[in-house]
Amino acid sequence: AFATLGVRAPQLFDAIARESEQRIGSFKPQELVNTAWAFATLGVRAPQLFDAIARESEQRIGSFKPQELADTAWAFATLGMPDPQLFDAIAR
Give the angle subtended at the CA of 13 by the CAs of 26 and 27, to the nearest 5°: 10
Query: What is the per-residue pLDDT across 23-41, written as a single tens digit (0 to 9) for each?
Result: 999 999 999 999 999 999 9
Does the reported pTM lie above 0.85?
yes
Separation of alpha carbons 13 and 88, rounded Å: 28
Flag whether pLDDT at 2 surpasses 70.
no
Query: What is the per-residue pLDDT across 45-69, written as a single tens digit (0 to 9) for each?
Result: 999 999 999 999 999 999 999 999 9
Within its chain, how far is the Cα of 48 from the centroid? 11
